[in-house]
Chains A and B, each alone.
Chain A
């Protein structure tokens, strides 16, 4: 693999311990809000089961539902495009912009366009893209990718955001008041909404039955962009389809409670037809999803509704930060989706977990995330793409554990060194020693004690 792996990137994040603690606590607080919201719904577990089964049905009928949506949406006046991969998606968006002779566009949150690296592509073509979700605008101005799919700049302190706004929006230096900064962004982005002729949004759910799609935001940025633009482009992964409109009742009850603990987002907008004089496009993106669908052990990750509950609960995510995952969708779900796209580049991610299972417990569509993490590890090690140190350690461990005399000798030697020469283990070469002390040393092993005490 090229570039730094999760462990190395997490090391960088971990250099600033107070920040790590703050990041950890902030996300845990969001997780607690999720719990409170979920516990207020007595039928919560039934809802999760229903959502999971609806999505199972979607996966088993996906080709039919896609065609059903295409027919219904086309009848509604929406133009459907099919993109086999990221490059084709980006080319389709560019061709629409070119046809309208437009070189500026507003965009609301879409992790799919992050996956496709749309912004970089359009920038190289001379197209100016403004991300309009506040958190996304912050990271865009900072020249960074989002670190969280729901809370894009959760890794940033308000003072840093104040600095970024001072530099780019001309707010007074040193002002880091969230209310003030949000208002500054409101004024800055309102001008963009009013002057852009093309708006791109993501899609939360697309209804096969009616050919409409639903976009959920708290800020209202997707609506401000879409309703003021002459052209609305909505990009969606092909797995975002649901069969019937009434299924939205299930998913909208689960989505935001799982994400932030709110009962629903401020806006759940249902786009069915372009307004008179407007053009509306939906771009279906495959980019590896159809292949992933064929992987029995891993296909259920395509049920994901992108709530990020698994991020907020994950002890590894909370303490390593989103950027350590070096992929558009970080966290536990990202760690089982990314190896599907590029097994070598993301071979480290299934190991970025304690396999504690908390992710699977909070998942609103009941994806067995931690089991898939475990299964990916086996696929990766068998395929020979595991990191070298991990392979060497596993080999040594195998030798030690399969030779009783080596095992006993190694235990004795370890205890002697820790007792008489602690500096040999309490140093930077021992990864266990990072952020924690080694345990106290017992005088004898259980085996030795047992030999002495058995009658």
Chain B
């Protein structure tokens, strides 16, 4: 094994072209600190998310989220959430020794870190997934972010990950996950004659809740 390693590295080294410098990347515009006031990208995020098969709700808080989920998924069965505020409708705060016990989860509700306006994706690290398998094995998925935590594009997204996503240990961002993913809409496929079908192997629907604490619930009921 190590002989192949040495052989490959030696051939690569011998055949490498002359040094070419890395380009400068664009300075991420609008990668403000979490929660900081800046350009509001929520409108762009919502329309992009809807165009890729997801849906979005602007809400005042978790009480409103629970109400919407009860209405949207009246017979969804088992619900698991990483948000302690949703204990009224979901199993919260548990760890599972074996991910296979999540097979029958109807709905998972998890907090993500931020959204990306240009593609409708949300970034979520494993400490917020309960189990790595959960955001994929659940029949339906809801993600929760703060309305102001939306970046304009992927350059800003990686800057955010670098600077602001806290490590599990609470230290800086460099080691903030063993597994993390961008999730953009429900799982989908178009492998049969290019006909788009939502719900390939993962969740069949995706809702993103955007919490705006300044919002009043008055008009909703």
Contact = CB atoms under 8 A, between A and B. Distances in A.
A348 interface: no
A291 B15 contact: yes
Interface in B78-136: 99-100, 103, 116, 118-121, 126, 131-133, 135-136
Contacts of A248: 154, 158
Contact of A134 (B20, B189, B203): B189
B162 A245 contact: yes
B167 to A, nearest CB: 12
A134 B28 CA distance: 36
B23 to A, nearest CB: 4
A314 interface: no
Contacts of A181: 192
Interface residues of A, number: 90
B32 interface: no
A67 interface: yes
A224 B8 contact: no
Interface string B177-197: 111111111111111111101
B219 to A, nearest CB: 32
Contacts of A61: 16, 19
Interface string A236-280: 001000011111111011000000101111111111111100000
Contacts of A60: 16-20
Given A53-B20, A267-B181, A66 B197 contact: no
B75 interface: no
Contacts of A54: 22-23
Contact of A290 (B15, B161, B177, B193): B15
A84 B155 contact: no
Interface string B152-185: 0111011101100000000000000111111111
Given A67-B9, A265-B184, A50 B25 contact: yes
A263 B187 contact: no
A72 B74 CA distance: 46
Nearest to B178: A273
Nearest to B132: A227
A190 B204 CA distance: 14
Contacts, number: 244
Given A227-B131, A266-B183, A275-B132, A178 B52 contact: no
Nearest to A270: B180
A43 interface: yes
A189 B136 CA distance: 14
Interface string A40-78: 010100100110011011011111001100000000100
A179 B178 contact: no
Given A61-B16, A266-B202, A250 B25 contact: yes
Given A134-B192, A246-B159, A270 B137 contact: no
A66 B16 CA distance: 13
Contact of B52 (A154, A224, A262, A270): A262
Nearest to A278: B132
Contact of A138 (B161, B188, B191, B201): B191
A218 interface: yes
A178 B158 contact: no
A218 B189 contact: yes
Contacts of B120: 263-264
Contacts of A267: 136, 181-184, 187, 202
Contact of A219 (B14, B23, B119, B200): B200
Given A57-B21, A154-B194, 9 more contacts: A50-B25, A63-B12, A82-B1, A82-B5, A83-B4, A158-B195, A220-B200, A227-B132, A246-B162
